[in-house]
Structure 1
Amino acid sequence: MPKSEPGTAWRDLPAGLRAEARRAGRAGVLPADPAVQDAMIARHHAWLRRGKWLSGLVLVPVPVVLATTSLTGGPGQHWTDLAVTLALLVFGAVVMGTEVAGARWARIAAPARVAAALRDTRGAVPTSARQAGIGSPFIGLLLPAVPVVYLYLMIDSVLMERELQAEVAPGEPFDWGAVRGWAVVWAVTLLVPALISLVQVYRLQPFDRGPAARVDESGVWIRRLRVTVPWTEVVGLHAVGPGRRDGMGLAVQVRDPDRIVALSTYPPRLRRYLLWGLRGGNPWIVVDDRLLREPADGLLAAALAYQATHPPVAEPAAQGGWGWW
């Protein structure tokens, strides 16, 4: 079958062949035709680009909403608020739908990605992947946005209380008690996202475009965990984690999650919070494509090549049908 351009390869395939490839991917079976495999990988890359492009628009509605609710008024205000709310709902649905569809396709294309990595001719050579930087994850922008939103909410609360008091008790001194109550409410409401954002910024350093992961002779180094997983601890490699909530990219199954936690260079007091998944006994670590500037295909190819030269010390446990490593 002649190979089409990567951007249109999947669309160029006959509908029946596409349906068959989807069924095979859902069953974890590799399509026999390499051209179909390449088309599935190209479509996965297209999903990644689309998801990152949409994530870049996540913060665009925020100043629009603030400007709309602050500068408009009058009898038609409720219609403006309704339109803004509907627009945000539609935008959120599009972003969420793209994320869900991309994650589903990543699982379908996973066998093809592993097969392509096994065919890679570069072999066991040191390979790294860079972080996405400002492009993603945008959660890094949440932290500086918290004080701005808090200030806006407080100003809005003061104005609302002034208008209410002017109607109920005109001429009376302004009661700051209600404002202090609003200050507590907004502080508690914003505290949780602020703490989550702080942890993510500390772990991912999203504004740094340095390496996020590296594969070499010593093992798999993962920046967000601050740990190098030695090859003696690697018992499985795949393009997605086994669970539907797991990420997509370079998925590493480790022999002893507690040992990986102990190897981390995070301060001991922080490991229980920053590596909570491994502390819970989950043996899978995923270097997610969405946090990288380029897909993790090169990492996966290098990891498979290095693993072939570093056989496991003992037979791994049963993998539940996951055979692509």
Structure 2
Amino acid sequence: MKMLINVPETVVADALRGMAAVYPGLIVDVENRVVVRRDAPVAGKVGLVSGGGSGHEPLHGGFVGPGMLSAACPGEVFTSPVPDQMVRAAAAVDSGAGVLFIVKNYTGDVLNFDMAAELAEDEGVQIGKVLVNDDVAVTDSLFTAGRRGTGATLFVEKIAGAAAEAGAPLERVEAIGRRVNERARSFGVALSAVTTPAKGSPTFDLPPGELELGIGIHGEPGRERRAMMTSHEIADFAVDAVLADLRPAGPVIALVNGMGGTPLLELYGFTAEVHRVLGERGVAVARTLVGNYVTSLDMAGCSVTLCEVDEELLRLWDAPVETAALRWGR
């Protein structure tokens, strides 16, 4: 496989150096693997820290900035960051108002963030935590106990980030983040396998005429493998899987997320199908976001995330944000 890299061992450090060159609003510590908004800590403001394995860009480093995360901790590709990174990030963004850890439900991430929380609290930092577990495709997988954390991570980081930016206390920011997670569900589809720099070849076998329904963001198996389906058919399957679990009573924000290897031409066409299904099911769509936000390197495919919103959550979603990958209202 051809990749635009030097060597697999330096791919994360090289990417961080690139971020540092492009975004002056970020402090990028390449050696210690921490990305921090330059004005942190902000007086009286709750800090938000997230992180996870690299390979899912722009998650998480691309969401650091006003209105969203205060800091992010990138691990090696598909590998959890270590507690030292998280403790360093928490110390960098703590203004005395506390720090919220936003954690995707993968075993390594959960264990390391829990350890970091204990270490940070020993140093006098008050820590809250939101565990994101929105994937309805499977319960338990190769990487996690319970449901995987996927697209809803963006919703939690954006909406909780807006609450923190508005000056809400830690308990309130944490409660809002948990509320978003409880109201959000996701389902992913893979059209091709993912290729990691270390392996240099597809990590699993997916024949040309087949797709995987319910795939995880590391290439974990989903619910079933089928012959290739049309965009219309995939939208019916994915949206119905989400709605069967979420059962929204009000409007939703829809995220149509590319897995990294699918062009926007296809994603916009698929978005039209997602809106069709939601309309047929009587679900109102308040906002829609389309693009590559929670990716899996070069995997072709997509995921659908729906988050039921009320007036407060929609207002926080619409609040200004200024990050490398998400920005509006400023």
More helix by share: 1
More strand by share: 2
Same fold (TM over 0.5): no
Give the structure-2-normalised TM-score.
0.25
